[in-house]
Amino acid sequence: MSMQEKVVLITGAAQGIGQGIAVKFAEEGAKVAIFDVIEPKQTLKKIQDSGGQVFWQNVNITDENLVKESISTIISNWDKIDILVNNAGIFPIEHFHELSVAMFRKIFDINVVGTFICSKYIVQHFISKNIKGIIINIASVGGLREELFHSHYSASKAAVISLSKSMAFELGKYGIRVNAIAPGAISTKGARTATPFQESGKIPPEFMEYQSKKRSPLNTMGDPEDVANMALFISSDQSKYITGAVITIDGGRSLL
């Protein structure tokens, strides 16, 4: 599944699932561009140490002008972009009746509107350069079912899934494929330290571990690499007839 000559843009790749995807694509020979609001020191080091090409821009995906300019910068440097992975997202946990409207709006702004903004300008690039590009949206099993203390998050990821399907439908005529990956509990810094509940002490710190173990038939959390392997596969020609799909990677959690 060589990715030689491909340019991939991954949002939120400073850590966690995004880092796993960035490292995986770099190992396969892709040039990796990263948008993140924190410096992805570890990701840059991992890729550069193994001889890969990587490039970070400090971009908040909700900032339309900055996203647009930063996509142009990647294209100026590397001529094109072939693959977009919309991974950046937040998942603070809160009791439904204590959720603020501001938080409800914020989660939609980052998880949904940010995904839309990045996709819109990448699709313009794909169409103008006749690139049969790939978009992968990192959703969540929470977008397919209920999630405890995560009503705002679940709703945002359901929107990401819906957006993916409509994009796949509308953009298929350009040869652009759009798929969503719906992970279950993946062991990342974000999942281990989901705020604000831990800071406020309202919910026990073992919450995520407890949830994942209790709610996966495999009785364990997944790793970023589990998601990265699928991202690689659905970016390759081996998956050339797959678009509009929602692929769960959840240890069977959605069966329960």
Ligand X SMILES: NC(=O)c1ccc[n+]([C@@H]2O[C@H](COP(=O)([O-])OP(=O)(O)OC[C@H]3O[C@@H](n4cnc5c(N)ncnc54)[C@H](O)[C@@H]3O)[C@@H](O)[C@H]2O)c1
Residues 190-249 that bind ligand X (CB under 6 A): 190-191
Rule CB under 6 A: is residue 154 a binding residue for ligand X? no
Annotation marks residue 153 as catalytic: yes
Closest among 25, 153, 129 to 80, alpha carbons compared: 129
Question: Smallest distance from the beta carbon of 253 to ligand X, in angstroms?
Answer: 10
Output DSSP code: residue 235.
Answer: T
Question: Smallest distance from the beta carbon of 137 to ligand X, in angstroms?
Answer: 9
User: Judged by CB, which is closer to ligand X: 61, or 247?
Assistant: 61
Rule CB under 6 A: is residue 84 a binding residue for ligand X? no
Closest among 150, 234, 159, 161 to 185, alpha carbons compared: 150
Rule CB under 6 A: is residue 143 a binding residue for ligand X? no
Three-point CA angle 146, 147, 153, nearest 5°: 105
Structure tokens at 66: 């900055």
Q: Which span (68-76, 95-103, 188-196, 230-238) binds ligand X, by CB under 6 A?
A: 188-196
Rule CB under 6 A: is residue 133 a binding residue for ligand X? no
Q: Which span (21-29, 30-38, 76-84, 236-244) binds ligand X, by CB under 6 A?
A: 30-38
Helix, strand or coil, per DSSP, at residue 169 = helix
77-93 b/e with 16+ CB inside 10 Å = b?
ebeebbbbbbbbbbbbb
Of 186, 230, 232, 246, the one binding ligand X by CB under 6 A: 186
| Dist CA 8 CA 114 (whole Å) | 17
Rule CB under 6 A: is residue 92 a binding residue for ligand X? no
Of 91, 121, 197, 207, the one binding ligand X by CB under 6 A: 91
**Integer angstrom CA distances of residue 138 from 74, 85, 112, 130, 182:** 22, 7, 11, 25, 6
Window 35-54: contact mask with ligand X (x via CB under 6 A): xxxx----------------
Of 10, 22, 47, 61, the one binding ligand X by CB under 6 A: 61
Rule CB under 6 A: is residue 70 a binding residue for ligand X? no
CB within 8 Å of 120: residues ≥ 6 apart = none
Q: Which helix (H) or strand (E) covers residue 45, if one does?
A: helix 41-49
Residues in contact with ligand X, total (CB under 6 A)? 30
| Dist CA 17 CA 127 (whole Å) | 28
Of 17, 33, 74, 84, the one binding ligand X by CB under 6 A: 17
Catalytic residue among 121, 153, 174, 210: 153
Beta strands in 23-112 (DSSP E): 31-36, 54-58, 83-86
Active site residues: 153
Q: Given the rule CB under 6 A, which residues bind ligand X?
A: 11-12, 14-18, 35-38, 60-62, 87-91, 110, 114, 138, 140, 183, 185-186, 188-191
